Amino acid sequence: MTTAMTESTATGIRAAAHSGRLQLDGLTKSFASRSGAVTAVDSVTLDVAPGEFITLLGPSGCGKTTTLRMVAGFEEATAGHIRLDGQVIDAIPPQRRPMAMVFQSYALFPHLTVAGNIGYGLRLLRRSRDEIATSMRMALTSMNLVGLEDRSPHELSGGQQQRVALARALVVQPKVLLFDEPLSNLDAKLRGAMRAEIRRIQRMFGITSIYVTHDQDEAMSMSDRIVVMNRGRVEQVATPGEIYLRPASVFVADFIGRANFIEVMVERVHGSTAVVHTLGQRLEVAAHQDAAAGGDAYLMMRPETIALVPVTDGGTGIGVVLRSTFHGPTIDYEVETTSGTITVTEPGRDPRQLLVEGTNVDITIDQERAYLLAGE
């Protein structure tokens, strides 16, 4: 199939999908238990733009999968509403919602071939034979499945099975694609390749997508915006860069990547910056809006924003190296300071030049990349 034909069909899917604006308004889900009602999702409000790729990210039990299942119609909300292109769809059953889901387990029919699995939804929708054939060609080509049409699922690799599941979801021309941890069964190398593949396909067709994962690397590499959830609530909704550099809370900063936290007293706040003293330095750093002068706060420093300088001539320095780990491209250090143990990541070098355990060091903090969070 030619590239022109693939792009033409993709344009058709984009047109069929219309806008795909998804809005969650105070979405809540409670379950009964012996000790009383348990709230799994607590007043989640979210506005997803047409064609946007949103990831629900958080630890196990944070409510992300329950939220996805309510969007899909598999769970009934206790309160709140779901709107698609302005229409409330709370009462619409799953099979009638213009959505498609890609499951963690792939959920392929073992008795059907690749072609049979991909075309299953089209046949349920009673599409014409010509339309099914055209959609099948597009799906097989865009998913690199040409030549595998007659194979059974058990004859495919994990990555091929995942591409079949994605193709099956796309050919029914949904307004919204839902992903329930679709890569968790793949090995690390294949996961990386499939991340790029899913994102490429999603951008090609411009379909609004909601992706659930607990893997922060997946969220950071794939998303337009990330929704960080904790105990059923939304902690922050922002781009990957904003969440990494300007987290809304200690929880978000700690969950996304690695971070050091040092409790400090705020000397003064001026606009969006604050002055603090720590590790022998006076720093002017960007600050969260809740940080206040005279109040307790935490200075967040990513490991790569700290540099170590070995102290010579018998000096004591600010810290002492407890452990060094050579990773090739980088070196990780654990450093004991008067403010606690911090982790430092520096570019890799000759492992024979590592700072060994017991080395006294001075510490330099990149104040442009540090961030002050209000105490919790």
Please list the pLDDT of the chain residue by residue as tens digits (376 residues): 344 434 544 554 454 445 899 999 999 999 988 877 899 999 999 999 999 999 999 999 999 999 999 999 999 999 999 999 999 999 999 989 999 988 887 788 889 998 888 888 888 878 888 888 888 888 888 788 888 888 998 898 888 888 888 888 888 889 999 999 888 877 777 788 888 888 888 888 899 999 999 999 999 999 999 999 999 999 999 999 999 999 999 999 999 999 999 999 888 998 899 999 999 899 999 999 988 887 779 999 999 999 999 998 777 889 999 999 998 899 999 999 989 999 999 998 777 778 999 999 999 999 999 999 987 6
Are 214 and 114 members of one domain?
yes
Let me know how long the chain is. 376
What phi and psi, each to the nearest 5 degrees, are found at residue 334?
-105, 125
Are 117 and 176 members of one domain?
yes
* Rounded Cα gap, residues 167 and 150, in angstroms: 15
CATH number of the structural domain spanning residue 119? 3.40.50.300
Domain assignment of residue 251, yes or no? no
* Rounded Cα gap, residues 121 and 119, in angstroms: 6
CATH number of the structural domain spanning residue 331? 2.40.50.140
What is the structure's pLDDT at 149? 86
Are 211 and 335 members of one domain?
no
Domain assignment of residue 102, yes or no? yes
Are 64 and 96 members of one domain?
yes
244: which residues sit within 8 A by CB, 6+ positions away? Answer: 220, 256, 257, 302
- Are 76 and 27 spatial neighbours (Cβ–Cβ below 8 Å)? no
Q: Regarding beta strands 225-230 and 53-57, do their DSSP bridges make them parallel or antiparallel, or are they unpaired?
A: parallel
Are 219 and 329 members of one domain?
no
Domain assignment of residue 216, yes or no? yes
Are 301 and 193 members of one domain?
no
Domain assignment of residue 322, yes or no? yes
From 194, 211, 245, give the residue that closes a domain.
245
Domain assignment of residue 253, yes or no? no
From 245, 268, 294, give the residue that closes a domain.
245
- CB-based burial of residue 275 (10 Å sphere; 0-12 exposed, 13-18 middle, 19+ buried)? middle
> Edge-to-edge strand order for the sheet containing 176-180?
99-102, 176-180, 208-213, 53-57, 225-230, 233-238
Are 241 and 263 members of one domain?
no
Are 41 and 167 members of one domain?
yes
DSSP code for 180: E
Residue 316's region, left for phi above 0, alpha for psi from -120 to 50, else beta, is: alpha
353: which residues sit within 8 A by CB, 6+ positions away? Answer: none
> Three-state DSSP class for 3?
helix
Are 201 and 293 members of one domain?
no
* Rounded Cα gap, residues 17 and 49, in angstroms: 13
Are 185 and 280 members of one domain?
no
Domain assignment of residue 263, yes or no? yes
Domain assignment of residue 250, yes or no? no
Point out which residues pair with 56 in neighbouring strands: 212, 227
What is the structure's pLDDT at 142? 78
Nearest to 169 by CA among 252, 216, 106, 240: 106
Are 278 and 224 members of one domain?
no
* Rounded Cα gap, residues 215 and 202, in angstroms: 19
Domain assignment of residue 252, yes or no? no
What is the structure's pLDDT at 187? 79
pTM reported for the whole predicted model? 0.86
Structurally, how many domains does the chain consist of? 2
From 195, 212, 245, give the residue that closes a domain.
245
Domain span at 287: 259-374
Count CA atoms closer than 13 A to 282's CA, side-chain side: 3
Are 205 and 69 members of one domain?
yes
Tokens (6 digits) for 271: 């606009």
What is the structure's pLDDT at 3? 43
